[in-house]
Structures are given as C-alpha cells and as structure tokens.
Structure 1
Amino acid sequence: MLPAPEILAHIVDVHCHPQVAPSIAASTIEALPCTLCAMSTQREDQPKVAALARARPDRIVPAFGYHPWWAHRISLNVPARTVPDHAAHYRALFLPDPSPSPPPSAELEAAFARLLPSLPPPIPLADVLADVRAHLIEFPAAMLGEVGIDRAARIPFPAPADAADGGNITPALSPFSVPFAHQLAILEAQLALAVELRRNVSLHSVKAPSQTRALFDRMAATHGAAWFAISVDVHSCTLSPEVWCDIEKLHPNVYISLSTAINGRSPAHIALIRASSPTRILVESDYHNACDAPARTWDMARIVADTHGWSIEDVWDDRPPPDESRWGVVRRLEANWHAFVRGGHQAPVKKSTARERRWRDYSLDLVEIDTEDQREL
C-alpha cells in the first residue's frame, strides 16, 4: 500500500526504464506521484527519454548513455560519421582470429551466420559520445546512464517470426557475449565524459565485483579530484557486503541502490543493506512501467527501513527533527539523494598499504585475463 501523497512526493526512484513501455499515456506522466530517474540504454531510446524529460521536467530526471548489453553495436577506433564494415566488425568481436589456435568450430560459425542478419550497422564510438554529450548539455540535471559492465549477458538470436504476431516467446541466447575489453573501453569513454561535464552516473555491474572495484580505483587514479566531484550509483547492486565495504571506504562518491525486481530474487541484499553506511543507500524500481514504478520503489524503501530499524513516516513535516536519529526512512533516503546529486565528495587521504599495492598490481591484469576468458567461451 502506498503512503500518503505528501510522503510519496519525497521518494526518488533512482533507476527505471519507462521509455521501454510500448506507449506511455500523457495522463500517466502528468500524474507521477514521485520522481523517476529514466535511464537510456541504446541509440533508439535516447530521444524517448529526452521526450519524457521535456514533458515533466519536475518529475523526470533523464539519464543518457549506452548499456553494455548493446556495446557490440559500437565500433572502436573508426572516424565519426562513418559506417564500419558490418560483417568484419561483428566477426572481430565474436569470432576473432584465434591464430595460431584452430579456427572457430562449425557450430560457432553457424551461430554467427544465424545472428549476423539481425545485427544493426555498427556505429562509431565518436558518434555515441557526441550523442550523449548533446543530450547531457541539453539537460543540465541529466545523469550518465545506464552504462556499465556485464560478464554474464549473451547476445540473443532474433526473435521467432510468431513473436511479431503477438506471441510471448523469449528469444534464444547465442553463444556470444561482448568481450570485456570492448565493454570497458566504451564505459571508460563515457565515464570520462561524465567527469568532464560533472554529471552523476548510474552504473550497471553484473558478475564483475573485482573488475568494478578495479574500475573505480583506476578512475580515481586517472581523474583525481574530478572523479570524486561526481557521484556514482551501482544500481540494483549485487556486490557482496565484503566487496562493497572495501569500495565504500575508498570511494566516498559511490552509492548503491536496490530494487525488488533484481535484488528481491535473493535474500542476499539484506546483508548488503546491513553492511552499507546508512548515508550511501538509495532505492529504485528498475522497472519499465511508470504506473508501477512508485509502488515498487516504495516496497524497497520499506525493506531498507525494516533492515535498519528505521521508522516509516505516516505524516510529513517540512521541518525535520534536529536529531537525525529520529528521522524516518523517507527523510533519510531523500537526504542521501540530495547528497548524491550535489556530488563534490572529498577524496580520501591515506597512504596505501602493502595489501592495496598488491591489489592494484593484480587489478592491472584483470582486463587481459577477461579477454582470454572470452576466447574460451
């Protein structure tokens, strides 16, 4: 059951995908009871998110970026406004020259031949960055998102013909995934843009705990204070409490958000909530239906409250109690969101330990190791 409107108005769904729905009624956008952070993921939905933000600028925080599930559609190291060779681009990603190893098996070649006709012409990374830059500049409050890394996703085969006639059939997955080094190059280019424009980030991270921590360490080393000036949300976070605590200590600009859609599949998120600093937690729906997103976000807010033993507001007072220990979950989450939006975090000042120096040396090898893993797949 949703709370009173004056309470729900202070809830922020920090990650959702309303533009994915086939259509959104104007009345739905006009009646939004809380703030939604609408995430772009691929070329086709950047303008859809922009349209939502124009329709309801007080309730929609837009985010523009390219998701790792579609990173294979992006070509590196080619000039802007060019059309990379279609087959050569995808073959280099999915069936790279294994010399001196044996050539790809007949099964992989057959899978590639089945997949290739469904893949769109690749676009140069320079065009991607220009598109993201233009949208971020148009919307001064916009975030970079959804961007990230995913070591579990596979490229789907084209949907069966009867799916186009209304059949609810999930396409089969191909044996191919986007090489990790390719994902990382696209992610780091987008993060550099976020640092340049000082925009906060919504980050996707799946099956990549060590790589995510190494990424944050590398961004801090590369960008210094400019990195800590922006905030980063690891959305629908599935990191272990141990990994998260390490990140939380070293990166005061990194937050986590949780959703019932993803985190609710396992009780593991309860331990993560307990382990996290109360000031570094956000909530989200990670959902595509704007009508249902507020209720799903509220459900996660209640879980956070129950886990931390926080009260749940039943009335709203615009004058918060001076004693923050008396704050309810909505006021706490709202304060976290405001801190996230403000950014400007102070970089930690400490000498590296021998353990951390060993970690840095180890992390430099992660991309190369992941590239080898992709070849074995």
Structure 2
Amino acid sequence: MGTRASDQSLLSHIDRLLCDERFTQYYRISGYHPWFAHWIAIEPATSKEEHYRSLFLGGSPKPESIDALDKLLTCLPEPISLQSVLSEVRQNLIDFPNAMLGEVGIDRAARIPFMPPSPPPYVEDDGKRELSPFTIPQSHQMAIFEAQLELAVDLKRNVSVHSVKSQQATGELLARMKTKHGSAWNAISIDLHSCGFSAQSWLEIEKKHANVYLSLSTVINSRSPAHRDLIAACAPHRILAESDYHAIRYLPQQTWDMVRTIAEVKKWRIEDEWTYTDQDTNVEQWGVVKRLEENWKRFQIADHIPVKRKRDRRQLELDTDESDSEF
C-alpha cells in the first residue's frame, strides 16, 4: 500500500523481488493518502512557506495560529506539484498492470503532527505525537482525490478509498464520477476501506453504485457498535474483510476476527473444512469464507452491470398514458 512519495520506489522494489505465484496479483496498491495531501501543491507556489501558509492560515490568522505554523514549518517537506504526483502514479500503474490505486480519499478529522515524516525503513508509531491545530482543507483533499480517481478510470484500475467524517463529500464525488464517466466508471471497483459510514449512508451508496464495495476491519470499525448495523445492512455480495493493520504479524488474526463478526451478524456458517467443487453454485449453502472469496474475485474482475433506476409509480402512469394517446 503506497501512501506518499517515499513509498512508491519501495513498492516497485518489492514487486520485482516477490512477483511470483506465491503472491496475489493485487497486493500492490499505489497512490497518495489524504493524510499527506498538504505535501502536494495544486497551484505553483513561490516558496514552501507560501504554500503551507495559503493552506492553513487563510485571510486573517490569529497570532497563535501563526506561531503554530512557524513551529510546524520546520517539520514539513518541500511541496511537490500535483502534476508530478499524477505523472508518478500513472507511470507506476502502467509499469504494474495489476496494481490498484490507493489509498486515496478524504479525511476531515486528521490533524498535522509536529514531527517530520519518518524516512524508510519506517518504525512503528508509539502514538506519542504532538498534534498541531491544523487539518487539511477539504477542497484541497478533494481536488487531489478526484484527480487520482480520474487516473483509475482512465487506466481501468480498482481503487481503495479512505473516507473519514466525509460521508456526504465522498458520496457526492462518487456521483459526479458516475455521471461523468458512465460505463467507464462501472468498469472499475471501488472499496470503501475500513468504512465508517452509517448504515443509511451505505445503503444510499449501494443503491446508486453497482461497483462500490464495503470493507471492514476490527481495529477500526469495532470501535463503534454501529459497525454491526453496517454489516447487517450491506448486501451479501458487496461485503469484504480486511485487517487495516500496519504490522504484518497481526494481519491474519485481525482479518479473521472481522470474518467471524461478519459470519455472526449475517448468520453465515464458518467452514471447518474446504469441500467446495465447481458444482457448488448454491450461494445459500456457502459459508462465510467462500462468500468473501467470491466477493473479492468479483471485485477484482470489475466490469459491473449498472444499477437500474426504479421509476416511481406516478411516472409509470404518465408514460402509460402517453403511450396510449392518439396523435
């Protein structure tokens, strides 16, 4: 999973070392995470200071905000242009035809820490970070998010989406992309990863978009009991499980814990042996692992059939009246 500039070359190195039959073709995900969107300059700036001041201070900053930014500037890297980012991500996706785009998105809760970015090799974060008062403006994040989504549509790549406290903004962007790109939008899959949407918000997305999937993790989603309502609301063929954990030693157990939660809420059995054959096409008889496996396969394939809009009864009556009229 790529999140920032220093990750991209590491991913390419791993790809070339480990690209064989032991690894799923979709383990590589290249993109820029919204937590690092402030490092990206949409418009050219004359200096590093000008770029960050235009993002965080606005027209009439308070003295304490100016002091906080002066302190933060020593921790921030030189900004890179959006065009440079897009060129790099595009080339990475072209070089690795099975790579997904991600993790991209929008996060209205994340605050910028008073610490410089850790260079590779990364160390585990002990959580003891002093946070600045600054968050990244939503409009700035959205411009970078949308620009990367355009790459995904253009190159027909599936996407891992990060959305925190941004249900409406995310839904509006998905709607714009669907309207703008039509069948090309349905040619890719979108994963709302560790999704914290309300059940109602998810149902609205599910009804409008045939290509959007819901992925949940224990480490993030189990913080709220509402995640069980989200699982219950999600269509059986749209749900996925993940770990969303940075330390590899915890990945299997974290993922399995969420699989068990999905099974419990959906009332799906958990397989204790694998006896499926190609003839086992009765979905109602499948256990949770088989169901999630098939959902993941469908996510990978993409090329989704568009959701058909239901016409209301009044419109149907009008259409019928017009069809019966004599001209």
* Fold similarity call, TM over 0.5: yes
Which of the numbers 51, 54, 78 marks the counterpart of 1:89?
51
SS state at 2:29 partner: strand
User: What letter matches 1:323 in structure 2?
Assistant: N
1:143 aligns with 2:109: no
Amino acid at match of 1:140: P
Cα drift, residue 134 of structure 1: 1.3
Look up the match of 2:33.
67
- Report the Cα distance in structure 2 between the residues aligned to 1:291 and 1:72, rounded to whole angstroms: 31
Match of 1:343 in 2: 302
Shift of 1:246: 0.6
Superposition pairs of residues 185-264 of structure 1, within 5 angstroms: 185-264=143-222
Distance 1:239 1:352, change over 3 A: farther
Take 1:233 and 1:59, find their aligned partners in 2: how far apart are those partners?
20
Change (3 A) 1:124 1:147: same
**1:183-221: per-residue Cα shift (whole Å, max 9, x none)?**
000000000000000000000000011111111111111
Give, in whole Å, the separation in 2 of the partners of 1:345 and 1:167.
Answer: 39
Determine the C-alpha separation between the residues in 1 that align with 2:11 and 2:251. Answer: 16
Residue 291 of structure 1 deviates from its aligned partner by: 2.2
Alpha-carbon distance, 1:56 to partner: 3.0
Q: Secondary structure at the match of 2:113?
A: coil
Provide closer, same or farther for how the CA distance between residues 333 and 168 of structure 1 changes in structure 2, counting only shifts above 3 A: closer
Q: Does 1:305 align with 2:263?
A: yes
Name the CA distance, whole Å, in 1 between partners of 2:105 and 2:311: 27
CA RMSD of aligned residues (A): 1.9
Q: Choose which of 267, 271, 283 in structure 1 pairs with 2:241.
A: 283
Partner in structure 1 of residue 316 of structure 2 = none
Larger deviation, residues 342-351 vs 180-189: 342-351
Tell me the distance in 1 between the aligned counterparts of 2:252 and 2:46: 42
Indicate if the aligned counterparts of 1:263 and 1:269 stay in contact, CA closer than 8 A. Answer: yes
Stretches of structure 2 lacking an aligned partner (at least 5 in a row)? 117-123, 313-327
Post-superposition offset of 1:322? 2.7
TM-score, normalised relative to structure 1: 0.76
Residues 305-361 of structure 1 show CA distances to partners (whole Å, capped at 9, x for unaligned) of 1111111111112415231111011110010001101111122243788xxxxxxxx
1:17 alignment partner in structure 2: none
Match of 1:368 in 2: none
Which amino acid in structure 1 is aligned with residue 223 of structure 2? Answer: R
Provide closer, same or farther for how the CA distance between residues 54 and 94 of structure 1 changes in structure 2, counting only shifts above 3 A: same
Percent same amino acid among aligned pairs? 50
Does the CA contact (< 8 Å) of 1:157 and 1:174 recur in 2? yes
Pairing 1:105–2:54 present: no
> Unmatched 5+ residue regions in structure 1?
1-38, 160-165, 354-377
SS at match of 2:275: coil
- Superposed CA deviations along residues 268-304 of structure 1, whole A, max 9, x for unmatched, are 1100000000000011000112222122111111111
Aligned residues: 301
User: Which residue pairs with 1:332 in the alignment?
Assistant: 291
- Distance, in Å, in 2 between the alignment partners of 1:48 and 1:210 is 34
Higher relative contact order (CA 8 A, sep 6+): 1
Match of 1:274 in 2: 232
